[in-house]
């Protein structure tokens, strides 16, 4: 791409029209972004406000603002949520943390090692492995939910933690990102130097290379965490026992019972709010990493 493709226009002309045009386009840009900020944030704001209301107030009060006793209602709603059916919701949160937290942590290490090897070593079958991994990216996990169910029922492992946890460890996209990142951020000379110092290949990876790949690892972790946290089809098809549910499946189950048990509506709403907080906090806290790592998948 060269700048020659841009047609030349008279510099004086654009300079004289510059300021007025730029105020106009500045305001237009701010207006567009402002309107869409409302679009993106209003539903979350509504969720926050509604979770501070009791059942009757949801329709009876101003929908997008708090009531005088919002503060106390919020805490009684939270207490009610956490105590309902002996703390079932807390169990769901812990399950999600286990599936997504531990799953993404192990999955990231496994994907990083594989992507690193595909990038840094020349070996037989390397391209073949990478092509298989890429096909894995194109066949998404949801298409595999039923096949996984069939194979887990062969070994009588449906309706167990393992049925959701083990398949979540595999992240072909993580391998793909790790390979690109390893190629870009781990210089071959450094590995050669480590070798001359007598460091083993595996030790070099964990002490030197993984640090250089840190932004990529955080990105892979975050996106695998979100994928597992959001996963719906696999737990839906695998799990019967409510005590094993992740929080999304649990809230789905409650939501589909609202017509029989109306009190669940309050818990569904405040439960939804509580369940999105961990992800929002994780994204805010790790923003520095993922915002630089995100582009890796597509940058030339």
Partner 1 sequence: MATLDQAQTPPGTAGSSRHISNKRRSTRKAVVVFVAPFAVLFVLFYAAPIIFAIIQSLLTVEREGTFGAPQQVFGGLSQYAIVFQDQAFWASVGRVLLFGVVQVPIMLGMALLFALLLDSPLLKGKKFFRLAFFAPYAVPGVIAAIMWGFLYSPSLSPFSAVTSEINFLDGSLVLWSIANIVTWVYVGYNMLIIYASLLAIPTEIYEAARLDGASNAQIAWRIKIPLVTPAIILTGVFSIIGTLQLLAEPQTLRSFSSAISSTYTPNLAVYTTASIPNYNLAAAFSVVLAIATFILSFVFLKATQRKVSQ
The residue (of 132 and 214) whose beta carbon lies closer to partner 1 is 132
Torsion angle, alpha carbons of 5, 9, 15, 18, to 10: -70
Among positions 24-63, residues that touch partner 1 (CB under 8 A) are 25-26, 29-30, 32-33, 36-37, 39-41, 43-44, 46-47, 50, 58-59, 63
The residue within the footprint of partner 1, chosen from 248, 266, 267, 270 (CB under 8 A), is 248
Nearer to partner 1, 24 or 243 (CB): 24
CB of 286 to partner 1, least distance (A): 12
User: For residues 105-124, which are near partner 1 according to CB under 8 A?
Assistant: 110-111, 113-114, 116-123
Q: Which pairs count as long-range contacts for 75-79, CB under 8 Å and 24+ apart, including other chains?
A: 77/51, 77/52, 77/266, 77/267, 77/270, 78/270, 78/274
CA angle 8, 14, 17 (to 5 degrees): 160
Q: How many residues bind partner 1 (CB under 8 A)?
A: 114
What's the CA gap between 247 and 253, in Å, rounded?
10
Q: Which of 16, 135, 207, 242 is the binder for partner 1 (CB under 8 A)?
A: 135
Binding residue (CB under 8 A) for partner 1 from 208, 218, 258, 286: 258
Question: The tokens 């393992």 sit on which residue?
Answer: 162
Give Cβ neighbours of residue 181 (< 8 Å, ≥ 6 apart). 115, 213, 215, 216, 293, 296
CB of 291 to partner 1, least distance (A): 7
* CB 290 within 8 Å of CB 222: yes
259 binds partner 1 (CB under 8 A): yes
Measured from the CB of residue 75, what is the shortest distance to partner 1 in angstroms? 21
* Interaction between residue 89 and partner 1 (CB under 8 A): no
By CB under 8 A, the residues from 206 to 245 that bind partner 1 are 226, 229-230, 232-233, 236-237
Footprint (CB under 8 A) of partner 1, residues 171-200: 172, 175, 180, 183, 188-189, 191-192, 195, 200
Q: CA–CA separation, 107 vs 105, rounded Å?
A: 5
Q: Please compute, for residue 228, the number of CA atoms within 13 A of its CA located in the half-sphere on the CB side.
A: 29
16 binds partner 1 (CB under 8 A): no
Neighbours of 234 (CB within 10 A): 23
Q: Is 272 in the site for partner 1 (CB under 8 A)?
A: yes
Residue 97 beta carbon to partner 1: minimum distance, rounded to whole angstroms: 14
CA distance readout (Å), 281 to 212, 222, 230, 273, 277 = 25, 12, 16, 12, 6
Is residue 88 within the footprint of partner 1 (CB under 8 A)?
Answer: no
CB atoms within 10 A of CB 239: 20
Q: Is residue 140 at the binding interface for partner 1, with CB under 8 A as the rule?
A: yes
Q: Does residue 103 interact with partner 1 by CB under 8 A?
A: no
The window from 72-80, 81-89, 201-209, 210-218 that contacts partner 1 (CB under 8 A) reads 201-209
Per CB under 8 A, contacts with partner 1 among 146-165 are 146-151, 154
């Amino acid at each position: 791409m060269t700048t020659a493709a841009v047609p030349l226009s008279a510099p004086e002309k654009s300079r004289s029209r510059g300021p007025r045009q730029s105020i106009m386009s500045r305001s237009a840009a701010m207006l567009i972004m402002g309107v869409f900020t409302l679009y993106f944030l209003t539903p979350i704001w509504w969720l926050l406000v509604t979770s501070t209301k009791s059942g009757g107030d949801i329709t009876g009060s101003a929908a997008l603002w708090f009531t005088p006793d919002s503060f106390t209602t919020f805490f009684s709603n939270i207490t009610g949520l956490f105590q309902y059916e002996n703390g079932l919701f807390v169990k769901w949160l812990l399950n999600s943390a286990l599936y997504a937290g531990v799953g993404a942590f192990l999955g990231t290490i496994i994907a990083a090692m594989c992507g690193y090897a595909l990038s840094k070593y020349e070996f037989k079958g390397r391209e073949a492995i990478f092509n298989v991994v890429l096909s894995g990216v194109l066949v998404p996990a949801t298409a595999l939910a039923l096949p996984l169910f069939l194979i887990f029922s062969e070994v009588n492992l449906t309706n167990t933690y393992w049925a959701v946890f083990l398949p979540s460890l595999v992240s072909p996209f993580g391998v793909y990102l790790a390979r690109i990142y390893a190629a870009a951020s781990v210089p071959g000379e450094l590995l050669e130097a480590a070798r001359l110092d007598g460091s083993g290949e595996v030790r070099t990876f964990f002490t030197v290379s993984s640090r250089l790949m840190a932004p990529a690892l955080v990105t892979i972790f975050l996106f695998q965490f979100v994928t597992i946290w959001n996963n719906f089809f696999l737990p839906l098809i695998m799990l019967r026992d409510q005590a094993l549910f992740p929080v999304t499946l649990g809230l789905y189950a409650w939501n589909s019972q609202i017509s029989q048990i109306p009190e669940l509506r309050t818990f569904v709403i405040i439960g939804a709010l509580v369940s999105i907080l961990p992800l929002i906090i994780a994204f805010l806290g790790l923003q520095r990493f993922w915002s630089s790592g995100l582009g890796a998948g597509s940058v030339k």
